[in-house]
Structure 1
Amino acid sequence: MNHKSIRRSLLYVPGSSEKMIKKALDLDADSFILDLEDAVGLTEKGLARQNVKLYISHFKARKKEVIVRINDVKTEDGVLDLEAIVEEMPNAVIVPKADEEAVLITNILIKSTEKRYGIKGFEIGIIPLLETSYSIVHTFHILSSSDRISGVQFGAEDLTKELGIERTRDGKEIEYARNVIAQAGNARKIDILDTPFTHVGDRDGLIQDTNNAKSIGFTGKTCIHPNQIEIVNDVFTPNAEDVIKARHLIRVFDHAVDSGKGVCMFEGKMIDNPIADRARKLVMKADLISGLTINN
């Protein structure tokens, strides 16, 4: 897949606002989602399409990952969105109200449009947006419906609306859906992206909500305001002390393995291969983030 190795923060930017798109170019999110769907009024769809088509290259020129959330691909707007943007080669598209059929249609339309424009050696990724009860029940099948799928995003607002329940600050009502998505996404080895925290001014709430998502396996979180980026990046960036400890653990464990042992003691705890592998993943993520910071 042609995307950055790390997706901690992903900022939604309304495609209809050229001013906000220009401002986003100077922000520090890992990825930018140019939105053609919910953030755009029905009378502004054409304008948004033109803006997004124009500015994809600006984000890419600054080595920023650019993703486009299209409209429902089973509608005229969704098809027109793909017709307009595939030529500009965004890193991925987010498919709203995703089910197996929506992913299949998106895959076919991207592939055919890539052929039309002679795009070779670059594959636009697909990120299903799971925001219906059907999608939660069928999560693994949806995430297995295309080789282009590089991530999955959870959409809590539409899901709770469909269920007719209140969307609360502590998120108890979305725990089941989050866990299903985290498990299926991990099984597919893709990025697992959490729903936005809509209380923009609630810093403590954002920290708590992001940590909740991280604690069950989410690897990043979508943002709807620039002031959320720093907090989300911080939560999903390994702590420096934890990284140092992990490097030490790996050295001790590898020495034990080289000595013919399968386990070892480290800081009073028994260390085996699964624990060592977890430490390696932590170090790898920290190194990737460090590399992105240097390159940017």
Structure 2
Amino acid sequence: MNAHPTPRPPGIRRTWLFVPGNHSGAHAVALQSGADAIVADLEEMTSPQDRPQARERIVTLLREAARAGTFGSVRINKLEHDGHADLEGIMPGTPRAIFLPHAESAAQLAALDDALAVIERKLGIPEGSTEVVPVIESAKGLVNLGALLQVGARIRCCMLAVEDLAANLGARRTPGGNELLYARSRFLIECVAAGCVPIDLPCTYRSAQVLGQDLDVSTQLGFASKSVVFPEHVPVIHRALTPSVDDVKAARALVDAHAAQQAHPFPAGSTWIDYPERNNAQRLIARAALLRAFNESDNA
């Protein structure tokens, strides 16, 4: 596969697959998964003693991802822990984005912005080109989110975590996920208000049935981007977030029927189409056009 001439835009990065930083086998699986973005994890998925070797392996992964046209990124540790060493080790691979865990304050994100600027200048990477993705994992991070998203232009996407957030809230986890419904809704609203792409929390249940239920909630709320921890979830999420040719045809037919209905509001024997249905169809058509434009430019 040839690399895409431009990185996949934030609005059509459907899946972000997390992989352990020091697991070359998982890296190979991720590259074959079809995920739009890969996130090599140096925090929870990599033990401190394995991090030096993991950083070297991540550089290789990032370069292979770039060749494959996959958006390569890394979750580092907080700067006050191993974060600076993480950056020094992985930035030669030119990651597209850096995920900052446990983001709670503007000062954390400003410090990461400064650190990235120094390393970009040193390595000859265009300054400001490395995105920053805050990871919201606590009540404090969520209530401060509006301010966090205003820190700098590097922030184009933001991610909601799941298990650490649930633990911070004291929520009892269930497959249905109702305990986190308010957090997901508020997170999405804050991101949309700030012009930032919200990345929904991952489904940490492996069950296909639970994933299907989770995607129903996710798409109903309005998410179009999702983090992933199981590679087999990637194609399922892509099907849910990618309108098919038949979906687009049906949506266009519905929009046309709604327009005809407005001209003749009481046609005999017809099915009434409400504005929510029309609006959903228009959004589906617009999303399909965005995805198609990117794919067509890939083949140009």
TM-score category (smaller protein): 0.7 to 0.9
Q: 3-state DSSP class of the match of 2:73? A: strand
- 8 Å CA contact 1:74, 1:102 repeated in 2: no
Find out whether 1:224 has 2:226 as its counterpart.
no
Task: Compare 243-252 and 19-28 and name the one that shifted more.
Answer: 243-252
Structure 1: tracts of 5 or more residues without a match: 257-262
CA distance in 2, matches of 1:17, 1:43: 14
1:135 to 141, 146, 154: 141
Q: 3-state DSSP class of the match of 1:54? A: helix
- Report % sequence identity: 27
Find out whether 1:117 has 2:123 as its counterpart.
yes
2:77 to 71, 93, 109: 71
- 8 Å CA contact 1:192, 1:220 repeated in 2: yes
CA distance in 1, matches of 2:254, 2:89: 50
Match of 2:210 in 1: 205
CA distance in 1, matches of 2:222, 2:80: 31
- 8 Å CA contact 1:152, 1:191 repeated in 2: yes
- 8 Å CA contact 2:136, 2:159 repeated in 1: yes
2:159 to 153, 170, 184: 153
Task: Compare 285-294 and 180-189 and name the one that shifted more.
Answer: 285-294
Shift of 1:287: 2.8
2:85 to 76, 80, 89: 80
The code of the aligned residue for 2:284 comes to L
Shift of 1:73: 2.2
Q: 3-state DSSP class of the match of 1:98? A: coil
Flag the 1:288–1:109 CA change in 2: closer, same or farther, 3 A.
Answer: same
Q: 3-state DSSP class of the match of 1:218? A: coil
Task: Compare 125-134 and 85-94 and name the one that shifted more.
Answer: 85-94
Q: Deviations over 1:106-158 (max 9, x none)?
A: 11111121111222277111111101110111111112222111111111210
2:102 to 73, 97, 102: 97
- 8 Å CA contact 1:69, 1:96 repeated in 2: yes
1:282 to 274, 280, 284: 284
- 8 Å CA contact 1:73, 1:106 repeated in 2: yes
Flag the 1:133–1:45 CA change in 2: closer, same or farther, 3 A.
Answer: same
Structure 2: tracts of 5 or more residues without a match: 1-5, 266-270
Shift of 1:283: 2.0
CA distance in 2, matches of 1:245, 1:125: 37
Find out whether 1:45 has 2:51 as its counterpart.
yes
CA distance in 2, matches of 1:147, 1:170: 35
TM-score, normalization: structure 2? Answer: 0.85
Shift of 1:281: 3.8
- 8 Å CA contact 1:151, 1:192 repeated in 2: yes
CA distance in 2, matches of 1:264, 1:121: 54
Flag the 1:90–1:220 CA change in 2: closer, same or farther, 3 A.
Answer: same
Flag the 1:198–1:265 CA change in 2: closer, same or farther, 3 A.
Answer: farther
Aligned residues: 285
CA RMSD of aligned residues (A): 2.7
1:61 to 37, 62, 67: 67
Flag the 1:248–1:195 CA change in 2: closer, same or farther, 3 A.
Answer: same
TM-score, normalization: structure 1? Answer: 0.86
2:198 to 179, 192, 195: 192
Shift of 1:33: 0.8
